[in-house]
């Protein structure tokens, strides 16, 4: 893989003798940091065989659009033909400018960092509201309970047959899924109480790993997805209620309020009712999902089994906290958005 990346960089991007360093953490791509001539730094993604290249091209175009609007993000680099998605005889490749900093998985997601993330997301959403290109689909099924109930039932069957997992781990995973399933009626009641959402094109994958926190500057946002329309509150909840942030304890309630307030200051086009529903959205989608069990039961999971087992526990503690402190979260957002 490294040799192929070096050849593509040399022949298709005219970056002779590049020095590559693996970047771990890519769930669907193989990634390397690239040094060239001791000064220039780039980032190269190698897409797996069978990737939806039309979707990947659309994701690159939306990143270019956001970058052109002055939003701090990685800029795609064209190959020698001018293409931003290089498709040769091997894997498809894209090359990007390198953003120095630490992703959100490696920093404390406290009030200060979430405030920066909220402000950046507000600016990004203002820009994306003007997206002139095609949209793949709407994201109205962000919490489709009938489908998700069926998915949970299927996942429990798959867990019973996952013989690569220990008996205690299968039992614990099933216990956590049962806990989520038993609260789906509460999820349904919460969904009925929420306002009709504001829906637009969004980043599409606002996990903490896609925020780069830079020294002496505000954060940057990377790894956009192809343009889909999703509820604003869903994307805000992805970062504002990220599992590591919730695990900080009671301090997270105030930190989330700072995140949403900063968002509103940078994007006052979104109704306050949507912003006040962010914690509700987080409770709903974390409870109704089967994350990370789909990776646990898959052959050759993208993460190690011990890491996935740890994440199951962390995510469970987080979603329990969202329900146990639901009134406190909702009141904090109401007060912050008065």
Measured between alpha carbons, how far is 21 from 98 in angstroms, rounded to an integer? Answer: 12
What is residue 223's predicted lDDT score, i.e. its pLDDT? 96
CATH class entry, domain 2-98: alpha beta
Measured between alpha carbons, how far is 175 from 181 in angstroms, rounded to an integer? Answer: 10
Rg (CA), the chain: 21
Measured between alpha carbons, how far is 143 from 333 in angstroms, rounded to an integer? Answer: 22
Average pLDDT over residues 66-90: 95
CB atoms within 10 A of CB 37: 10
- Min mean pLDDT across 17-21, 120-124, 174-178 is at 17-21
CB atoms within 10 A of CB 329: 24
Strand partners, 76: 96
Measured between alpha carbons, how far is 224 from 61 in angstroms, rounded to an integer? Answer: 9
Of 307, 281, 282, 280, residue with least CA distance to 292:
307
User: CATH 3.30.200.20 in the chain, residues?
Assistant: 2-98
Q: Where is pLDDT greater, at 296 or 220?
A: 220
Q: Residue 215 is encoded by which pair of tokens?
A: 């020294």
**pLDDT tens-digit map of 165-183:** 999 999 999 999 999 999 9
- Does residue 302 surpass a pLDDT of 60? no
What is residue 298's predicted lDDT score, i.e. its pLDDT? 84
Give pTM, 2 decimals.
0.93
Residue 139 confidence class, pLDDT cut points 50, 70, 90: low
Measured between alpha carbons, how far is 275 from 334 in angstroms, rounded to an integer? Answer: 9
User: CATH 3.90.1200.10 in the chain, residues?
Assistant: 103-336
Q: Say if residues 5 and 33 touch (Cβ distance below 8 Å).
A: no
Measured between alpha carbons, how far is 328 from 273 in angstroms, rounded to an integer? Answer: 17
- Min mean pLDDT across 33-42, 147-156, 214-223, 324-333 is at 33-42
Residue 7 confidence class, pLDDT cut points 50, 70, 90: very high
Q: Label residue 301 exposed, middle or buried (CB < 10 Å: 0-12, 13-18, 19+).
A: middle
Residue 239 confidence class, pLDDT cut points 50, 70, 90: very high
**CATH code of domain 103-336:** 3.90.1200.10
Of 231, 222, 219, 239, residue with least CA distance to 59:
222
What is residue 127's predicted lDDT score, i.e. its pLDDT? 99
What is residue 39's predicted lDDT score, i.e. its pLDDT? 75
Instruction: Look at the alpha carbons of 227, 231, 235, 236 in this order and tell me if their dihedral is positive or negative.
Output: positive
Average per-residue pLDDT in the chain?
94
Question: What is the secondary structure of 250-272 as a DSSP string?
Answer: THHHHHHHHHHHHHHHH-TTS-H
Please, what is the angle between helix 232-240 and helix 278-288, to 10°?
80
- Does residue 25 surpass a pLDDT of 80? no
């Amino acid at each position: 893989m490294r040799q192929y990346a070096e050849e593509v960089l040399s022949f298709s991007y005219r970056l002779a003798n590049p020095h590559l360093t693996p970047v771990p953490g890519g769930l669907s791509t193989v990634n390397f940091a690239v040094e060239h001539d001791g000064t220039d730094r780039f980032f190269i993604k190698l897409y797996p065989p069978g990737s939806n290249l039309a979707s990947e091209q659309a994701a690159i175009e939306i990143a270019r659009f956001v970058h052109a609007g002055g939003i701090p993000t990685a800029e795609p680099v064209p190959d020698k033909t001018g293409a931003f998605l290089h498709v040769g005889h091997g894997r498809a490749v894209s090359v990007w400018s390198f953003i120095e900093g630490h992703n959100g998985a490696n920093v404390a997601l406290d009030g200060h960092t979430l405030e920066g993330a909220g402000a950046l997301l507000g600016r990004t959403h203002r820009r994306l509201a003007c997206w002139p290109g095609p949209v793949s689909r709407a994201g109205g099924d962000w919490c489709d309970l009938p489908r998700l109930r069926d998915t949970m039932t299927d996942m429990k069957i798959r867990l019973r047959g996952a013989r690569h997992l220990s008996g205690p781990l299968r039992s614990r995973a099933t216990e956590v899924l049962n806990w989520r399933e038993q609260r789906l009626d509460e999820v349904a009641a919460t969904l009925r109480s929420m306002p009709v959402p504001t829906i637009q094109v969004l980043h599409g994958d606002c996990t903490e790993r896609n925020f780069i926190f830079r020294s002496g500057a505000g954060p940057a946002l990377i790894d956009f997805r192809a343009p889909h329309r999703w509820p604003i509150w869903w994307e805000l909840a992805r970062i504002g209620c990220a599992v590591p942030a919730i695990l900080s304890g009671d301090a997270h309630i105030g930190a989330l309020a700072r995140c949403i307030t900063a968002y509103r200051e940078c994007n006052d086009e979104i109704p306050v009712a949507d912003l006040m529903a962010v914690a509700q959205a987080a409770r709903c989608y974390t409870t109704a999902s089967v994350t990370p069990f789909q990776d646990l039961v898959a052959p050759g999971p993208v993460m190690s089994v011990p890491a996935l087992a740890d994440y199951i526990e962390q995510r469970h503690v987080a979603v329990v906290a969202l329900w146990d402190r639901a009134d406190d979260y909702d009141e904090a957002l109401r007060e912050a958005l008065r």
